Structure 1
């Protein structure tokens, strides 16, 4: 993959600024007072707790118990509007409106049945759009339609040439929190011309790799992944029009259709010139994005110093300072 992937990859964890509220607040007219009103006893106010369970209890797991009351309120509104949003998006093909949708292995029920896993998945779209129900609705509907058009499930079943893609990306081990770790290798002896010769084929392979990593999440205790991008052997001359086009398309897909699935991203074996590029782009990235990213130098000692606090040495390959067998 091209050396310019570093800024592009940084964009995938970006956030969208908040949008105006979806509905206006309307004050209902007050009724005329009765001739002899009864005395009114003031009710005691109960302060809402930041992480309190909703007024009407919903199925809970370790992840939903971390939702704030504001997030629960947005989630209830989101769930209520989703069936109509789907109907509207299939206005030209009403017979194709789904009654249930499976996303990342989780069933999203549109008939009112609630599950904790469903709440975790829906919350990712809300958080990606700063709890705007309207914007999150657009995002998830676009994702559902895109998955149909791209035929994601078919991509998962495809066989891709091992000699072309076998060493380009791997899912290997877990971090200390149980999150799967995805390795992306951009240098070495990769045949970049063959990898990017067919952009559609590359995209189907890359989406399939992403799907396999996400299907490892249980959405009960684990709902994010760790990514390691290895730039060993990558130079500024690695850029080609084909690789730039593929990178741009992959960036757009992951930003638009896989929200809030990243826990940490490490860029390792980064050449000095690319480190400068990262710091130049840093000023334009949200603080939340920067907090998830680390640019690391070269060599197993330097890399291990950054990765071992996150990934146990028994799970980290030797080339990165761990004790696990190299893949």
Structure 2
């Protein structure tokens, strides 16, 4: 027992030869146990890059990943990669919204590049301008400014439109094909009872026509879109349009109709691009066939390929698959109800009793159409000459929806 060494001595002797000491001294530290503990911990701390702890390794991995991510370019959605001009368009959008003070288009609140409805709106403006970014920007600027001033959504909900002037002239129908809704707008120009009464107040006519268009646009449900449209492919957010010219005479148009037509084209060409899928002109006189050939020379191919003149309205249903054809009104060759019973229209103020007296004298003995002398039965050259005089007007009247395409 006498040879047993104190515990402190045993511990001191068992320390590594590399035990730290005070600088310039050969003596061991006064407290070997504490020194031994601190010394044994130091290599682990000094060698953390060689054998890091689990937490340290995780932290290092996160740091490396962050550095790597920062070094890589930001990944963009496929539609931005495919349409480079769209990226630049979104860069310009905040300034466009600020300059116009309006941020809504067709019921869609315009946001950023991650918002699908906004993406679709900008794609339509790009397509309408064949990818020309400056032109698309300018058109969007004008359209936003126009919507702020006109407030077309309010024209639908609270606008006051004359029954005397617009009753029976415009309808909207929703059909269905393979579960997909198909929106149709119908403009029944032959239903105009008094040209002067309907078209004389230009602002009133435009408000009615815009409101009808907005009803159809709302039915497209663009604000609920979850898929970006294919820039070069099918676009589900487009409508069909039917213009019925039964009993309408194309020659020597009334000046008020000319003015209304010109203004309609001006508004729709700016504010409603790429919303037309197909357009049908029905009950168009056969002699007017040359007009559509002429239109191909002055309008873009993308526009005219959507135009379909049909001399007899009953043949319209033949242009569609059986499922759709069955829903079209019988007067157009389908099996559906007539428009006045199966379609929607704008709410109209019943002013027939009030204003009818004011228009009685002008309406009496005045046909709805603005007719020209009858076309000679054997020789139609004189008629063609008259058509040539009015060709610009005829084209405008027959193509107000051409403006709705581009």
Report the counterpart of residue 297 of structure 1 in structure 2.
311
Distance 1:212 1:318 in 2: 23
Q: Secondary structure at the match of 1:263?
A: strand
- Deviation of residue 194 (structure 1)? 1.1
Q: 1:234 aligns with which of 248, 255, 264?
A: 248
Report the counterpart of residue 225 of structure 1 in structure 2.
239
Report the counterpart of residue 172 of structure 1 in structure 2.
173
- Deviation of residue 262 (structure 1)? 0.5
- Deviation of residue 279 (structure 1)? 1.8
What are the superposed Cα offsets for residues 171-202 of structure 1, whole Å, 9 maximum, x if unpaired? 02336352210011111453222111211100
Which of the pair has the greater relative contact order for Cα pairs under 8 Å at 6+ separation?
A: 1
What are the superposed Cα offsets for residues 108-149 of structure 1, whole Å, 9 maximum, x if unpaired? 02xx47311111111111111122222211111111111112
Q: Secondary structure at the match of 1:295?
A: strand
Q: 2:321 aligns with which of 300, 309, 316?
A: 309
Q: What is the Cα-based RMSD across aligned positions, in Å?
A: 2.4
Q: Secondary structure at the match of 1:216?
A: helix
Report the counterpart of residue 192 of structure 1 in structure 2.
195
Q: For residues 1-327 of structure 1, what are the structure 2 equivalents within 5 Å? A: 56-58=75-77, 69-71=81-83, 73-87=84-98, 89=99, 97-98=101-102, 101-109=103-111, 112=112, 114-156=114-156, 157-174=158-175, 176=177, 177-188=180-191, 190-219=193-222, 220=225, 222-237=236-251, 239-300=253-314, 302-306=315-319, 308-309=320-321, 312-327=324-339
Decide whether the 8 Å contact of 1:174 with 1:311 is kept in 2: no
What are the superposed Cα offsets for residues 79-103 of structure 1, whole Å, 9 maximum, x if unpaired? 111112344x35xxxxxx45xx121
Residue correspondences, number: 253
Decide whether the 8 Å contact of 2:279 with 2:306 is kept in 1: yes
Higher-helix-fraction structure: 2
Q: TM-score, normalised to structure 2's length?
A: 0.58
- Deviation of residue 68 (structure 1)? 8.1
Closer, same or farther: CA 292–236 of 1 in aligned 2, 3 Å: closer
Distance 1:311 1:285 in 2: 32
Closer, same or farther: CA 234–175 of 1 in aligned 2, 3 Å: farther
Report the counterpart of residue 403 of structure 2 in structure 1.
none
Q: TM-score, normalised to structure 1's length?
A: 0.71
What are the superposed Cα offsets for residues 64-91 of structure 1, whole Å, 9 maximum, x if unpaired? x8x58442x221211111112344x35x
- Deviation of residue 305 (structure 1)? 2.1
Distance 1:309 1:238 in 2: 38
Distance 1:136 1:104 in 2: 16
What are the superposed Cα offsets for residues 158-179 of structure 1, whole Å, 9 maximum, x if unpaired? 1212232121110023363522
Decide whether the 8 Å contact of 2:113 with 2:119 is kept in 1: no
Distance 1:230 1:312 in 2: 19
Q: Secondary structure at the match of 1:323?
A: coil
Distance 1:273 1:175 in 2: 34
Gaps of 5+ in 2: 1-73, 228-235, 340-406
Decide whether the 8 Å contact of 1:173 with 1:316 is kept in 2: no
Structure number with greater Rg is 2
Gaps of 5+ in 1: 1-54, 59-64, 91-96
Distance 1:310 1:142 in 2: 41
Decide whether the 8 Å contact of 2:80 with 2:86 is kept in 1: no
Closer, same or farther: CA 295–113 of 1 in aligned 2, 3 Å: closer
Distance 2:281 2:138 in 1: 32
